[in-house]
Amino acid sequence: MQGSPREQDSRVAGIQVIARAAQMLRTVRQAPGGLTQAELAEKLGLPRSTIHRILSALEEEELVAGSGGPRGRYRIGPEITRLASAAYRDIVGLVHPLLVELSGRLSETVDLSMLDGSQITFIDQVDAPHRLRAVSAVGESFPLHSCAPGKALLATLPPGRVRELLPARLPASTAHTLTSLDELRAQLDQIRTTGIAFDYEEQNDGICAAGIAIELGGLAMAVSVPMPTQRFHGREEDCAEALLRFRDRIAGEEWF
């Protein structure tokens, strides 16, 4: 049943309000310093009264947080963080069995990590069955330029964003770390072509790794396979093939 004209108009109005609220949240999210009602009205091309009404509802639900007064600035609220955290935990739980499969396929440690400011942070891990294995603690962070998952994620970003994330001078974690921005850019170009990033003892002596960037539920993440150097050399193609298959499988799944 389509309903009466009044009911149809009500549904259309409700959808429009939701769309405007979503647009407002995206706009606020892109402004770390927050936005005033006047700035939001200008950016979205909406009347101040509409902005005020929707902001008041969003603030009531803690989806935005205002600093008070008509000239106060509005930022993303704590409820957004709580919702994002719940989605993040769901994604990690859903993808973990696939990490276990990949680890079993290669008999090596597999890490799941995500972009965390100007670093990469490990958020899940499946340990290798070997006594001699590469293990990074969940929650540990590494510089983006010196590890396979970090380089894999950098290669997915536009040049301007890469410049923002990298320091003017790349610090060396080992004697093998790339410290030349030109060399790193050339390597990122290669990663964009192959989809695979490698780390040859660039973060830790005696440890090499291969990594890929993936997208899970709209979040940019990376999967990497670290291992002792003596087991890594000669296995690059095997690791690359397994990781690319993993990426294709992830891309074919519906996560929500």
Which pLDDT value is given to residue 256? 47
Is 211 a domain residue? yes
Is 256 a domain residue? no
Residues 105, 51 share a domain = no
- Counted residue by residue, the chain has a size of 256
> Where in the chain does DSSP place strands (E)?
64-66, 74-76, 110-116, 119-126, 141-143, 197-200, 207-216, 219-228
8-38 tens-digit pLDDT: 555 656 678 888 888 888 888 777 778 899 9
Which pLDDT value is given to residue 12? 56
Phi/psi region, residue 217 (left: phi>0; alpha: psi -120 to 50; beta: rest), is left
Q: Helices (DSSP H) in 30-63: which residue ranges?
A: 37-44, 48-60
Is 167 a domain residue? yes
202-226 tens-digit pLDDT: 999 999 999 999 987 677 899 999 9
Give dist(CA 109, CA 100) in Å, integer.
9
Q: How many CB atoms lie within 10 A of CB 63?
A: 19
Residue range 163-187: average pLDDT?
A: 93
Which pLDDT value is given to residue 102? 95
Structural domain boundaries enclosing 113: 81-251
Residues 58, 98 share a domain = no
Residues 244, 160 share a domain = yes
Domain count, the chain: 2
Last residue of a domain, one of 76, 99, 126: 76
Give dist(CA 183, CA 114) in Å, integer.
23
Residues 216, 139 share a domain = yes
**Which CATH number covers residue 10?**
1.10.10.10
Q: Are 217 and 251 in contact (CB under 8 A)?
A: no
8 to each of 11, 17, 47, 54, how far by Cα in Å?
5, 14, 24, 21
Q: How many CB atoms lie within 10 A of CB 168?
A: 6
Is 126 a domain residue? yes
Last residue of a domain, one of 76, 101, 118: 76
Residues 166, 90 share a domain = yes
Phi, psi of 211 (to 5 degrees): -150, 155
3-state secondary structure of 57: helix
36-94 tens-digit pLDDT: 999 999 998 999 899 989 998 988 888 888 876 667 898 888 877 677 666 666 777 88
Which pLDDT value is given to residue 97? 93
Residues 225, 98 share a domain = yes
Which pLDDT value is given to residue 212? 97
Whether the pLDDT of residue 183 is over 60: the answer is: yes
Residues 190, 93 share a domain = yes
**Which CATH number covers residue 216?**
3.30.450.40
Q: Of 148, 131, 171, nearest to 225 (Cα)? A: 148
Residues 189, 116 share a domain = yes
Residues 182, 102 share a domain = yes
Beta-ladder partners of 221: 114, 214
Residues 226, 245 share a domain = yes
Give dist(CA 147, CA 199) in Å, integer.
5
132-147 tens-digit pLDDT: 666 667 788 899 999 9
Residues 90, 70 share a domain = no
Residues 174, 85 share a domain = yes
Whether the pLDDT of residue 2 is over 80: the answer is: no
Last residue of a domain, one of 57, 76, 95: 76
